[in-house]
Structure 1
Amino acid sequence: MTLSRRFTAPRTTLIAGAVALAFAAGMLAGCQKSGARSAADAASAPSSALLIAPEDVRTVALQTHASGPVITGSVQPERRADLRAEISAVVLQVLKENGEAVHKGDLLVRLDDTAIRDSLQSAEASSRAAAQALDQAQRQYARVKTLQGEGMSSQQALDDAEVRRNTAQSDRVAADSRTVAARQQMTRTEVRAPFDGVVSDRKVSAGDTAAVGKELLKVIAPDSMRFEGLVSADRMGDIHPGQAVQFRINGFDKTDFAGKVRHVDASADAVTRQVAVIVDFAPGTAPKVAGLYAEGRISSDASQALLLPEAAIVKEGDKAFVWKLAGNTLVKTPVTLGERDARLGNVVILSGVAAGDRLLRTPGSSLTSGQKFELAKPVAPAASVALGA
């Protein structure tokens, strides 16, 4: 029994030592894996500095700010004609479509002339009969007058012959008038272009019944476009012919148009209290499409101001901010806004920034003041890279 105890104790000690060794090895391996995972996480963690592309940065600069009256309206042709039916007839043919160019005198619409042609033939026949009757009455009057001079006819017969001659003359004039009227009606069955231009609005098709006064189509002269605008009557005293106007046209958002005031109405509209103003385009700049909406300012007072697009301004309630690039840090800077320039869509900045400051062009909502940033290097064009290689 004593020997058995001597040999059992060392075996138990060896087993416990092996377990402890295995546990220590497992702990060491776990620590190594944890350290490796921490290093990998640290390597994959994003940098705290915000990367900004050069095109996302805007430099504040002084610009010309026109503070005159706002003018809104549309582009309209000075020469335009609403061609309407002058007779009641069926439309036989429409020869031009919208957008087609026409020349003065070109046939545009043909109306049914059947009834008018019959009237013309009848009037011409009546005119010929009246002419024959007048010729006969004149010869009869001449014979009676000769006989009366020789004492072979009475004065009464001469007077009767003169009456018949005068009546025949009146009938001839009336018949000729009816013939002329019928011919005029015939010409009205053919609607022609009054000037060189373009068909802008076709109103009828073949088979339609055109009553007197019905609009058939419109013709405009694209080279006679002008800006027909409206200005508040409160600013009427600030407007006079010859003033410069800067404006934008819907459809030409990247183009600024310039013109001069030609005419200012002497009275305001009784309902809208606005005054109509006509603006001529600068030579060679007028668009060729009528009806486009336009908005701008009459330059009655121009000054230099700091202007920013609305996309660069962040509004929080009644307050406005911009994100300024100061060194390598983003700073949320409050600004004071002035009036909006309708011509450019920019806002006047009264305070908060100065000329030369760099701002984010379109700031996002996840920015924080004091955040670090880095400017990305411009990417070289593919052609330049190939040449460099």
Structure 2
Amino acid sequence: MLRKPLLVLAIASALVACSKESKEPAKPGEQTAQAGAKGGPKDKRPSQLQVAPEDVLTVRSDTLSSGPVVTGSIQPERKADLRAEVSAVVLQVLKENGEPVRRGDVLVRLDETAIRDTVASSDEAVRAASQALDQANRQLERMKTLRASGMTSAVGLDEAEVRRNSAQSELSAARSRAATARQQLSRTVVRAPFDGIVSERKVSAGDTATIGKELVKVIDPNSMRFQGRVSADSIATVKLGQKVNFRVNGYGEQQFAGVVKRIDPAANPVTRQVEVVIELADSAQPKVAGLYAEGRIDAQSASALMLPEAALVKAGDSAYTWRIKDKTLNKVALVVGARDPRTGNVEVKQGLVAGDVVLRSPTSNLKDGQKVEMPAARVASVASAATGAGAVQGK
């Protein structure tokens, strides 16, 4: 009988305690925790993304060029390797590496002492031969007069003619030796054959220059061209006049353009590559010879959807991008193709169509289905400025 009154008292005390807890105000920390628990599902929704016009781009078709790779170096078309044509000591070198020269400028002077003595000796030989010829001519005329009067024989006249002919031959030989000596004397002064710059100086004052020794090299920096090599497997696609885009080591990402000017008819027997000469089409040419260059010949071209590499996100072997459609951000898987080495853009085979709007440089905190807000361009200020300008003109 006592169990029922005890049970009723326990239930009553429990109800009183519950009513007190409901009346006591909650602590600040507990209130924040409750509010966070209630608002938790709402925070999981993606926040709205604000995008500026410069953060997006429109996918368009572009020309995708493909062709064989060409590698080689930049070389001048006009170059001269000046060598010694006489044996002499180098007296003076007037130009250094990198200095510009004009056609006819003196580059190197050689010792001319011995050659000048030879010139003087040959000139004396010419004078002697000339005097001998004059004497032979007078003797011949005398013999002709005597022969006409019958005072000499025909044999004497013939001998006079032989002496005259021999004197003529000796004079011609002396003049030839004198001309050769003067030519040798002129070769002691080495001059620039055309306008250009000195690319390499091979000798210094005091060196002994033998015949054939390299003295100095001169190149024309305005005649640079790309001398490259193409694999024999791809040479069938290379034609004269095809465009070439290439980069030069030392000029960073700067692109140079040219056209195929010449294709060698024979492949290299060791490398099995065919040399091609590419004429530079840009006015801004590399001015340094010997630099390594690599590019691609535009042997084939086709229209394709192109996307900058920065707009792609790669995850392993797959790639995707973020497309904005109906003010909603969508993650779109892509099937990409070749990369255009000229622009760095990548061909998009599947996933996008022309006119789609994508993020130019997506970040890693984007969410699929996220709402996008794109503020309108500030055209009103431009229009007001134009109206103000019209008003001023109207005044």
Structure 1 length-normalised TM: 0.70
Q: Structure 1: how far apart are the matches of 2:165 and 2:57? A: 93
1:121: Cα distance to partner? 1.1
Change (3 A) 1:62 1:295: farther
* Corresponding residue for residue 167 of structure 1: 166
199-208 or 346-355, larger mean C-alpha shift: 346-355
Q: Structure 1: how far apart are the matches of 2:308 and 2:113? A: 66
Change (3 A) 1:329 1:345: closer
**Runs of 5+ in structure 1 lacking a partner?**
1-30, 34-47, 378-389
* Corresponding residue for residue 64 of structure 2: 65
* Corresponding residue for residue 293 of structure 1: 292
Kindly indicate whether the alpha-carbon contact (under 8 Å) linking 1:313 and 1:320 is maintained by their aligned counterparts in 2.
Answer: no
Kindly indicate whether the alpha-carbon contact (under 8 Å) linking 1:337 and 1:348 is maintained by their aligned counterparts in 2.
Answer: yes
Kindly indicate whether the alpha-carbon contact (under 8 Å) linking 1:248 and 1:296 is maintained by their aligned counterparts in 2.
Answer: yes
Q: Structure 1: how far apart are the matches of 2:311 and 2:92? A: 57
Q: Structure 2: how far apart are the matches of 1:54 and 1:112? A: 74
Kindly indicate whether the alpha-carbon contact (under 8 Å) linking 2:310 and 2:360 is maintained by their aligned counterparts in 1.
Answer: no
Q: 1:278 corresponds to which letter in structure 2?
A: V
Q: 2:287 corresponds to which letter in structure 1?
A: V
Q: Structure 2: how far apart are the matches of 1:110 and 1:288? A: 32
Structure 1 SS opposite 2:212: coil
Q: Structure 2: how far apart are the matches of 1:113 and 1:374? A: 86
Per-residue CA deviations over 1:319-367 (Å, capped at 9, x if unaligned) read 2545758899896x8755534444445554545666656468598xx98
CA RMSD of aligned residues (A): 4.3
Aligned: 1:260 with 2:259: yes
Alignment size in residue pairs: 344
Q: 1:81 corresponds to which letter in structure 2?
A: A
Change (3 A) 1:347 1:274: farther
Change (3 A) 1:154 1:234: same
List aligned pairs for 1:90-239, cutoff 5 A: 90-239=89-238
Kindly indicate whether the alpha-carbon contact (under 8 Å) linking 1:51 and 1:374 is maintained by their aligned counterparts in 2.
Answer: yes
Q: Structure 2: how far apart are the matches of 1:216 and 1:346? A: 49
Q: Structure 2: how far apart are the matches of 1:373 and 1:202? A: 69
Structure 2 length-normalised TM: 0.69
* Corresponding residue for residue 276 of structure 1: 275
Q: 1:117 corresponds to which letter in structure 2?
A: R
340-349 or 173-182, larger mean C-alpha shift: 340-349
Structure 1 SS opposite 2:198: strand
Kindly indicate whether the alpha-carbon contact (under 8 Å) linking 1:322 and 1:360 is maintained by their aligned counterparts in 2.
Answer: no
Q: Structure 2: how far apart are the matches of 1:64 and 1:75? A: 27
Q: Structure 2: how far apart are the matches of 1:163 and 1:362? A: 103
**Runs of 5+ in structure 2 lacking a partner?**
1-26, 30-45, 376-395
Change (3 A) 1:299 1:251: same
1:179: Cα distance to partner? 0.4
Structure 2 SS opposite 1:183: helix
